[in-house]
A and B are shown apart, each in its own frame.
Chain A
Amino acid sequence: MTRSLLERFPFLPALAILAILVALNGLAEPNSLGYRAIRGLVSTYLALMLLAVAQSFVVFAADIDLSVGAILGLVNVSVVTLMQAGGGTVPVVLGACIAGALIGLACGVVNGIAVAALRLQAIVATFATSILFTGLALTVLPVAGTPAPTPYWRTYGGRILEIPFVFWVLGVVLGLIALFARHRVVLDLLSVGDDQRAAFQSGLPVTAIRIRGYALCGLFSALAALCLTGDTASGDPLVGNAMTLYSIAAVVLGGTALSGGTGSMLGSLIGALIIALIGSLVFFLGTPSQWQNLVQGAAILIALMAGVLVSRRVRR
């Protein structure tokens, strides 16, 4: 009796739910499975996928980060403002992207120090830093609307070697996920999430590992912000706040336990896609606008329950 399929691939139930949603979308609107529709979907939801991957790093260690959306917003306005100020040339755009990634990393380190080194409660500490980061974003860009330079969003919406740029990004993200799955950083985080005291007694540097988790979370939130900026082509200091809880929902839908110690990043990515497809299904079904939130919420609940039921049955 070695590991069951589910323990090896905790995202399998999520994959099944995803398949069902794809089929439902196809039934509701055959065009929704077309090349253009999928490209649009990926383009819109790449930010949420990256945000869910970011959230996974901390959830693996039984931590949580309620500031991912705020980091996303701060990086979004910083990048747009930097690009605008520099005149929007290619070197400036690249420099701004690097600066944005560093800002995200710095935010993550701040979170990590607050939670792991100062031992503040993760939920409250990251809620506080989320307000802080949003405040920073509002000083950088008080009102939404500054446009991103044309070369930036043209690249994001364009193609390289006849393949849409967003698919390249998705490929790189999948590659990173595969790499991280085998990297000791993730095994360390999972061990800490499994039992923090046991990890400490095993000689693992628990505080450093948790800070590293938050730092990676911040970095990936920044990458999410770069994708979002490409999609919306403008700066908005409050754009990310609504996405924070979606990222946590995506992580859980992907089969990762909030109690830490078990899960997969691929699952989080699939979880984000599930949320995306629920959104598009609600749209294609022609749900009246006042009903959309209700239907979407109910659908996410059903997906969560289905995942739990499948896991429970398989484990037995």
Chain B
Amino acid sequence: MARLTLTGIGKRYGPTVALSRADLDLHPGEVHVLMGSNGSGKSTLCKIVAGSVRPDEGQLTWEGQEISIASPRDAAARGIGIFYQELSLAWHRTVAENIALPRLPVRAGLVDRAGVARLAEAQIAPFAEVAGDGFGPDVPVSHLRPDQRQLVEIMKCLASDARVMIFDEPTSALDRAQTARFFDVLRGLKAEGRSIVFISHRMDEIFEIGDRVTVIRDGTTVATAPLSDTSQERIIADMVGEEAAVSPAGEDNGTSASPVAPDVPMQGTAAVDPGVDAPARDRAGRATDPAPRSADASTTAPLLQVRGLTGARLRDVSFTLAAGEIVALGGLHGQGQSALLRTLFGAEPATRGGAELAGAPLDIRSPRAAIRAGLAYVSGDRGRDGAITDRPILENTVPIHFLRRRMALARPGPLSARAKEALSALATRYAGLSASIGSLSGGNQQKVVIARWLIDPPKVLLLDDPTKGIDLATKTELFALIRRLAAEGMGVVLHSSEDAEILANADRILVFNGGRISRELAGEERTRFNLYEAAYDAGPSAPPAEGAA
């Protein structure tokens, strides 16, 4: 019956237990969803199936026979293909070469270029309309946008033509049209009798495409059920275990009439209606009513004033941010939200315009100057912007402290104490300060990165999709923390790829379109409907947007 069965899989990295007793069975012709908070062991389990990680214990059975998978080559030979969350692309090679690389067509030792082109063309075809500008078989991967790179990784996995395909968060950077097309492809694969493992942090996607779900908690499989027999609440309860009380607000969400709400179940209904939003803020101990906040924002001098900022991906962006305010940047993917944050932080050059922080001109020419001025930048792209890979957690926690205090010599004792304090404020789970940051899960790595900024609290916190690839429970914790920091007087600029996060947490929403702020939503206007309308609205009402700020 089952094509591939994993029983009692365990894997340790030094003191960190990645998997303790994981089970999974895969049937032909199903999409099997793997759920679990970050650090629960999903990715490790996938890598074990794909042969890039070897288990310490447990059994793998392929069509009734016990097997071991020694390497990715071995897995490929058996008919197992994988989409890696962190991508496995060769940066300087072209799209076609990347797609063809694992099974390179060779004629007499020479690369068969026509064969490579054919192979790539077959995989690109289904995504041709949704891949976007600048995508093509001869484009080097380094030229592509993140969503396009993710599509290449998907195509590379699909090109393996494997009987078991594993997709570890394949949709995290994709837009709606790309995801819809990908799901069409998945349904086709399912109809061909292939077994698909699918991981996503978006609940709506899981219920849309999945047949069965297996929930992993702390490296142990706790439940497997058909998705038609379970519910969002049930899955989340399984994921968080006895701490199921984390999200009382989510309980009534299953009955919510809104079909789009589910991506953040904790605040699902709150997201739709700012009125219901209020209790969530109460719990976090901040102002319930957004109206007075805007009032005092206009009477006191703004903390951050941005004037006419223009750059490669920005067009004349102006706005103000008051102390204690959370301003969110919304809109479709890549409309300049990230560029604004990076420009303010000095990581991307501005051609015109500038900013003032607490009345003084802000030097936005380098991140170093921005940090000294009191800005903090947390990116969802931990690999590029956050984690100092292969270095201990301590070293990952203190660099900003070092810079801000202009320290030259490190005294491990006092530093460790400060680091521990900041890490525990975020409830970071780690084995010890000397362990490598790589030993932590994505969510805990992100906490370390955030803790780095909190040793000396900044004036303005710039959050660039900070919860990308982080599990639901950690997301809730992070936003509670962000609201607490704002309540203490920090100004927060938040960009998130999840609209629900924006709706649930922002005092004001600046909607971006083509590098401009096309609309500002405040107070009662902050509804999902308005946000979508503004995001998609590139039509006749857009031109006067220049004055919107």
Contact = CB atoms under 8 A, between A and B. Distances in A.
A binds B: yes
Interface of A: 1-3, 7, 179, 182-185, 187, 190-191, 194-195, 197-205, 261-262
Contacts of A194: 90-93
> Which 4 interchain pairs have the tightest Cβ spacing?
A194-B90, A198-B88, A201-B88, A2-B138
B104 interface: yes
Contact of A200 (B52, B111, B139): B52
A81 B106 CA distance: 42
Interface string B83-109: 010011111111001000110101001
A225 B345 CA distance: 54
29 contacts: A1-B143, A2-B136, A3-B94, A3-B138, A7-B92, A7-B140, A182-B111, A183-B110, A184-B104, A184-B109, A184-B110, A184-B111, A187-B97, A187-B104, A187-B111, A190-B90, A190-B93, A191-B93, A194-B91, A195-B88, A195-B89, A197-B88, A198-B87, A199-B90, A200-B52, A201-B82, A201-B88, A202-B102, A203-B76
B539 interface: no
Contacts of B134: 1
Q: Which of A1, A200, A262 has the most CB of B within 10 A?
A: A1
B163 to A, nearest CB: 16
Contacts of A184: 104, 106, 109-111
Given A184-B109, A191-B90, A195-B90, 8 more contacts: A7-B140, A184-B111, A187-B93, A187-B97, A187-B101, A191-B93, A195-B89, A204-B73
A283 to B, nearest CB: 38
A118 B406 CA distance: 41
Nearest to B82: A201
B384 to A, nearest CB: 14
Given A1-B143, A187-B104, A194-B93, A202 B88 contact: yes
Contact of A1 (B92, B111, B139): B139
Q: Which of B87, B90, B106, B109 has the most CB of A within 10 A?
A: B90
Contact of B72 (A2, A191, A203): A203
Contacts of B393: none
Q: Which of A3, A202, A205, A261 has the most CB of B within 10 A?
A: A202
B50 interface: yes
B526 interface: no
B516 interface: no
Contact of B110 (A1, A3, A7, A182): A182
B50 A201 contact: yes
B138 A203 contact: no
Contact of A183 (B72, B75, B111, B138): B111
B139 A198 contact: no
A200 B93 CA distance: 16
A2 B91 CA distance: 14
Q: Which of A3, A183, A201, A261 has the most CB of B within 10 A?
A: A201
Contacts of B84: 198, 201
Interface string B41-61: 000000000101000000000
Contacts of A190: 90, 92-93
Q: Which of B72, B84, B94 has the most CB of A within 10 A?
A: B72
A194 B89 CA distance: 9
A254 to B, nearest CB: 16
Contacts of A197: 88
A261 B91 contact: yes
B21 interface: no
A7 B71 CA distance: 32
Contacts of B72: 200-203
Interface string B318-329: 000000000000
Nearest to A2: B138
B401 interface: no
A237 to B, nearest CB: 36
